[in-house]
Amino acid sequence: MGPSLLFCPADRPDRFEKAAARADAVILDLEDAVAPEHKGAARDALTGSSLDPVRTIVRLNAFDSGFFADDLVALAHTPYRTVMVAKSESAEQLSGLDRFSVIALCETATGVLAAPSIAALPQVVALMWGAEDLVASLGGTSSRFADGTYRDIARHARSSVLLAAGASGKAAIDAVHVDIADLEGLDAEARDAAASGFAASAVIHPSQVETVRAAFRPTDAELDAARRIVEAAASNGGVFRLDGRMVDGPVVRHAERVLARVRPTMD
């Protein structure tokens, strides 16, 4: 699965095929994108859809939302087995989802603090974080400064979720960039996500897809430098010098990750 994951409201089946065609994976959203009075229609649309299960993720409502149980009933009538659980806050909440591949969305203060134990569950394949719900859970009013950069609390949560995922060998997904027109800001965030170790970024509009793909795709110069490091490492044990730069194990692993990003995966 590639680096660009596109949210699509589950009550808009007319958009399902288009979203799936545009992005590396589509997230059919039963939660925030769907008003309470439309939840039933969204579940009906979900069960009537026929997207590629390998590239389809279903975002379920939060465990304590009152909608979670009905979401699971609907999901049982579909071929989709990768789920994203909104506002995941404990390993106990997710323990019954062992039939699914779970992406835990840690987007509250409780969820971020519980990220290490959540990531340790065998059914959890990835963690994602969310800025807006996080700040709301703290009683705040904005996750970003006026210039568009994240406040420290959001940056801390982002790093915490990435570290928790990495410590358990799971993938991490970066949060959405809500300013759809700000492709420059999205590009900067996605490039930082790729360099920091995130496997993917979620997006909310098709116009954001290619920006994320390009950000995660190494440049020709980066690929050439990475290949030279890996090739030199094969014939030089331990620490060595290349183009005036010290190269050791971590630098080689960085280069290997750059090469791996040619075909990004969440596996």
Alpha carbon distance 201, 188 (integer Å): 12
Which helix (H) or strand (E) segment is 60 a member of?
A: strand 56-60
Helices marked H in the chain: 16-22, 39-47, 68-75, 91-94, 109-113, 115-119, 131-137, 152-167, 183-196, 209-216, 220-235, 249-260
Say whether 107 counts as a known binding-site residue: yes
Among 83, 38, 90, which residue's Cα sits nearest to residue 60?
83
Say whether 133 counts as a known binding-site residue: yes
Phi, psi of 59 (to 5 degrees): -85, 120
Tokens of 222: 């980066």
Binding residues for Mg(2+): 107, 133
Binding-site residue set for substrate: 59, 107
Instruction: Indicate the annotated binding residues.
Output: 59, 107, 133
